[in-house]
Amino acid sequence: MSIGEEAPRTRRRPRGDVRAGLVAAGVELARTGGPDAVVLREATRIVGVVPNAAYRHFADRDELLAEVCTVAMNELADRMAADIARVRGKRGNPGAAQRRLGAIGTAYLRFAHEEPGLFATAFAVPQQHGYNDRTPLGLLRDALDELVEAGALDPQRREGIEYPIWSIVHGTAVLTGQGPLRDAPDLRQIESLSLAFIANSLT
């Protein structure tokens, strides 16, 4: 640098950029290693800031993990919504309503297998999630409400039925994903039987 020239100034990152960067880094850590991989120090290394910078945005590791959990859960909901949107047929059509319910289960299971790290992280819940309006549970409830509107589900059976249905699909995802059925030779058949069991139980 010649005499008279000013030293180049270090460009500081806006606070919002650092926070968003840490969350994005946490999501990628979760994608490859699940919730246990979401560590503040590693997230700061990825973003390129000093470790103490994380504490200007998150009180502790659980607070960052909670944000990452929300992102993971919202990504699952987005995948489910996309599969629902591909089902043809007007709302209230019995066949279309049943296919949309099936699409929800299929998308849920596919996400669990394609994104095991994010799937596990979505349910790590170190604190209450800040979900948006379109959640997996909300999408399931809407599909069940449509079945009632279409005359494919008895209204008297509707209340609370989303919980055992969610439990069956989630249990299947865990057992066939990282659980004791992960090496079963007929994984797809197990999943198909689970979804068929739900569909048959509603008629």
Q: Can you give the pLDDT at residue 10?
A: 37
Question: Could you give the percent of the chain with pLDDT greater than 90?
Answer: 72
Across the chain, what does the average pLDDT equal?
88
- How far is CA 16 from its chain centroid? 23
Residue listed under structure tokens 């999408």: 139
Instruction: List, in order, residues 6 or more apart from 183 with CB less than 8 Å away.
Output: none
First to last CA, the chain: 79
Instruction: Concatenate the DSSP letters of all residues of 25-59 into one string.
Output: HHHHHHHHH-GGG--HHHHHHHHTS-GGGGGGT-S
Residue 199 in tokens:
């569909």
Q: Can you give the pLDDT at residue 9?
A: 41
Q: Confidence class of residue 52 from pLDDT cuts 50, 70 and 90? A: confident
pLDDT tens for 75-123 read 999 999 999 999 999 998 999 999 999 999 999 999 999 999 999 999 9
The mean pLDDT of 142-168, rounded to a whole number, is 96
